[in-house]
Structure 1
Amino acid sequence: MSDWSRGWPAPAKLNLMLRITGRRADGYHELQTVFQFLDLCDELDFRVRKDGKVRRLDPLPGVAPEADLTVRAARLLRNYAGVAPGVDIALRKRLPMGGGLGGGSSNAATVLHALNHLWGCGLDDAELAVLGLRLGADVPIFVHGHAAWAEGVGERLRPIALPEPWYLVIAPDCHVATGEVFSAPELTRNSRPIIIRAFIAGDRRNDCLPVVRERYPAVSQVIEWLEERAEARLTGTGGCVFAEFASASAAEQVRQQVPADWQAWVARGCNRSPLRGRLEHD
């Protein structure tokens, strides 16, 4: 029981569009969005413990265990499933925090799936997704692991088949606070809902874009730079900006021009999460 189970992927996602269609009485926003995964991933390792303790071995500075999504996900699953083991969790972080790539939510979903397997909880995807929603609105998409059209607060998912292009993803040197963006008085909250056919035809609007550009000049600077080379888009509330390319080499050619103070990756769009492959392998 002391051996590590290593290399569990926690992939990034892109929001290929984001429309805010209303606001609920509880403060959450009704939205429409399209999720697609990237082959760019954080990785997690797990070591089952016999003493019931849940530990993150490399805690984020200034983040208490009670606020750490990996720890919260493990404790939530353990309590729900009524199992006794604990776990040590190690995380190799590649995805930027505050970038709109879903890193924290993806980490939580990978914890739920990995420990459901390692602890022998026997829960199905639907049960894990319900648990995940307690941790965050984006967690269910990572649990389900398929590109999807999403509505509600992002939890009502319909699988969608999309092209799988190459993307250049650029992270400016800033952390965008999702809560600030969604609470901004100038945020559009009454977009007309659309249907999937309209998205496929090219409606890729992101209602958060004007708010983020106004409040985060570093993001606006990246968009202006990338717009000179490709169609620049914002994922979620940002701050990562991305553009689509037909080949890895075309994306890489632009990546090599990215200023040194910005992080940048070339990644493949994936309709099937890399985590699904790991689950089938195990």
Structure 2
Amino acid sequence: MERVIGVIGGSGVYQMEGLEEARWQAVETPWGAPSDEILTGRVAGMRMAFLPRHGRGHVHSPSSVPYRANIDAMKRLGVSDLVAVSACGSFREDMAPGDFVIVDQFIDRTYQREKSFFGAGCVAHVAFANPTCPTLSAACLTAALDAGITVHDGGTYVAMEGPQFSTRAESEMHRAWGADLIGMTAMPEAKLAREAELCYASVAMVTDYDAWHDGHEAVDVASVIATLTGNVGKAQALIAALAPLLGPEHGACQGGCDHALDHALMTAPAKRDTDLVAKLDAVAGRVL
């Protein structure tokens, strides 16, 4: 099948430079409107779709982002590989502001968000032990290195509800858990991407040391924005380097992302809610 790269840009990443045949287009979904119109075009001859997670002008808080609509819209546009870029705090001295991290694990501490496309009338349980795609993540790592970015291979990301930043006690607790990063938007985005059978990679842009580091002032918006300004160009360079690495054809995913629903559906066909099934046409049409 044709490979189509999707990019969800986090705080500060509201545009995608270098797209050929670029145009913003609205995408309707049964889960409501996405965060914004989606910028579609081509990079190195490959189709790409870019969505600003918070909307242009940053109109959505982490809790109000329409995560289900965003993932559904990407699926409807034919996206096969989804790269999520987000700003994060660091719990590790060596993951310094300005560095990038290719996330491979998550701890979900969000509690106000709809976390699944499925539910009463059509129950499904997808495997999520390895929540990111190994092939796409490896390509993101190589692309970052090729772009001259200081990047770390692997990291555990705590997803907090926000919108406030951490207390010092929370920051120290998460460090004691062995977490590496903290942010507000990876969940439920990664879970929904798995339900939609998308290859998903998470690229974290470190902006601060959260609240634990005695040598740095506690995180605030001004310091985050200052670091983000330098990171935006790096993120766009990474995406530009990614397309040639992946190639135009999307073969079978080695991690099984593209067949995540093979054994996930629990509800007997005769018992399924027809209205919910209709809403799942893009996300789960392959198995429904």
Q: Do Structure 1 and Structure 2 share a fold, with TM-score over 0.5?
A: no
Q: Which bin holds the TM-score, normalised by the shorter protein?
A: under 0.3
Q: Which has the higher strand share?
A: 1
Q: Which has the higher helix share?
A: 1
TM-score normalised to structure 1 length? 0.24
